[in-house]
Amino acid sequence: MRKGSLSLALLLCLAAIVTVAQQPALPETDKIRDIGVGYSPNGQFSKLVFLGNDGQGHHWLEVWKVRNNDSPNLVNYLIQPHTIITWGRGPVLTDLFAPECFPSSVPNFGAKDYWVVVFKGAKLSFVLLDREDDQNKIKALFSNLQATATQRRAGGLLDTKGHASMWEKNIISQFQKGNRDWIKSEWAQSLTTCIKISN
């Protein structure tokens, strides 16, 4: 191999290493010690806060669904200081996004489709999750959120006072420190006004 070709190959190799190094990483979180859960009066919004060693919530889930539907339609995972991941199921709830951030056309997802939101430039991009392992993880999350909401709406009859329910424990396990390797780094986005979050 000629010297020029070798130098070019080394430069390309270094560029690849730098690109990998600049890949956004999911912010670190403390071990989850407990979970706090709250619901809006109409049940269309819920918030699950993961409480760490300091008793504070530094990452949490915000869950949105349409009226008269038990199943979540959109889940925001927020991590301080300014990271958000947004997953959805079924048609896009356009009210939860700023109109100026929409692409020229919004995908027409089926009722059982799972998707994630990423940014392409200044516009939102709704990406279908077509890998089975991704679908299974998000499906499990949505199922546990639905079961938690249903059980709490029924008056918490299956609750053990002072302890998380079985479904809440499943959610904690999914987001526990050391267990979040299923969350792809490319799903993590910087928090912007394009995606609606609670105050």
pLDDT in tens, the chain (199 residues): 444 444 544 444 433 333 333 345 789 999 999 999 998 888 889 999 999 999 999 999 999 998 777 789 999 999 999 999 999 999 999 999 999 999 998 899 999 999 999 999 889 999 999 999 999 999 999 999 999 888 776 665 455 555 788 999 999 999 999 999 999 999 999 999 999 998 7
In a domain, residue 61? The reply is: yes
Contacts of 74 (CB under 8 A, 6+ apart): 63, 64, 65, 86, 87, 88, 89, 93, 96
Domain count, the chain: 1
Q: What is the pLDDT of residue 199?
A: 72
Residue 140 domain boundaries: 28-176
- Which tokens belong to 18? 């730098």
In a domain, residue 3? The reply is: no
Cα 92 from Cα 110, distance rounded (Å): 10
Q: How far is CA 62 from CA 4, 65, 76, in A?
A: 54, 10, 5
Cα 127 from Cα 173, distance rounded (Å): 25
What's the DSSP call for residue 159?
Answer: -
Cα 142 from Cα 40, distance rounded (Å): 18
In a domain, residue 161? The reply is: yes
In a domain, residue 116? The reply is: yes
Please, what is the Cα angle at 48 between 62 and 124, to 5 degrees? 20
In a domain, residue 12? The reply is: no
- Which tokens belong to 78? 């927020």
Q: What is the pLDDT of residue 155?
A: 62
